[in-house]
């Protein structure tokens, strides 16, 4: 199945398939599944149309999606409400929404680039190491450091570090 241009394998678990998007890890994937009430063992081909549409809307712009539903729990002696009763109003959570601050794909990569550029501008050790294409986190340079030489630069476009 294709979602926002990314191919999600049909047989994969949804919370695993969501990690195909830059900026989503296991913990965030679980939260996204809970937000749209997708159970943990749901495969991509089991998603309903409304869930796919909701996921697509969220992943294209996490900040503009409505806050999560507030699901009040039934008391132990809750009285039963008949099916014909009017539907209660939908309640949204007033707590801070962790997923609204999510930065995905191009936004996520831009945040990483800006952080590296900021380190260079203010003249930190980390900025200098990025500029010299050396490892940043104290690894050895006498041997190895091949990944740093390949990826570390001011305009870093590889795997995200800091």
Partner 1 sequence: MPSPIDYRNVNENHFDAKPKPLDLLDFEPQNVFTAQIGEPLAYAERARKAFNAFGLPSSNKWSHKVFASPFSVVRDATVQLLTELNVRSEQVRSEPEPTGLILHGTSGCGKSTLLMQALGHCLENGWIVLYIPRSIDVINSSSPYHYEARTKLFNQPVISRALIQGLLEVNREALEKIKVDQDIVYGHQGQTFKAGGELSRLVVIGLEDDMDTVVILDAVMDQLGRQTEFPVLIAVDDYQCLYVESVYRDPQFFPIRAYHLSVPRMVLEFAIGQRQLSRGLVLGALGPLHTNHIAPVPLREAIGAELSWKDAAAGPYAERHKAHVHFSQGLKGFPVPAQVGVEAALGWYKTYVDGLVLHTRASDDFFLAKYTEASGNAREFNRALLDTMQ
CB 19 within 8 A of CB 25: yes
Binding mask 59-98 for partner 1 (x = CB under 8 A): ---------xxxxxxx-xxx-xxxxxx-xx-xx-x-x--x
Pairing of strands 6-7, 2-3: antiparallel
User: With respect to partner 1, which residue has the nearer C-beta, 71 or 122?
Assistant: 71
For the bound state, the minimum distance from the C-beta of residue 3 to partner 1, rounded and expressed in Å, comes to 19
Q: What kind and span of H or E run contains 109?
A: helix 105-121
Q: In which residue are the tokens 């969501």 written?
A: 18
Number of amino acids touching partner 1 (CB under 8 A): 34
User: With respect to partner 1, which residue has the nearer C-beta, 85 or 122?
Assistant: 85
Which one of residues 4, 9, 20, 40 is an interface residue with partner 1 (CB under 8 A)? Answer: 40
CA 11 to centroid of chain Cα atoms: 21
Cα gap 133→100, rounded to integer Å: 34
Binding site for partner 1 (CB under 8 A): 30-31, 34-37, 39-42, 46, 68-74, 76-78, 80-85, 87-88, 90-91, 93, 95, 98
């Amino acid at each position: 199945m294709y979602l926002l241009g990314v191919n999600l394998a049909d047989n994969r678990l949804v919370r695993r398939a969501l990690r195909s998007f830059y900026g989503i890890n296991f913990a965030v994937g679980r939260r996204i599944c809970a937000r749209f009430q997708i159970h943990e063992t749901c495969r991509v081909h089991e998603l309903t149309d409304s869930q796919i549409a909701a996921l697509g809307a969220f992943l294209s712009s996490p900040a503009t999606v409505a806050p999560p539903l507030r699901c009040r729990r039934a008391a132990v002696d809750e009285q039963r409400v008949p099916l014909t009763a009017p539907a209660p109003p939908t309640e949204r959570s007033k707590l801070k929404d962790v997923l609204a601050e999510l930065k995905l794909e191009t936004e996520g990569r831009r945040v990483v680039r800006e952080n590296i550029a900021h380190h260079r501008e203010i003249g930190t050790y980390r900025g200098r190491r990025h500029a010299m294409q050396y490892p940043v986190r104290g690894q050895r340079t006498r041997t190895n450091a091949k990944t740093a030489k390949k990826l570390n630069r001011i305009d870093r476009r590889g795997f995200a570090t800091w």
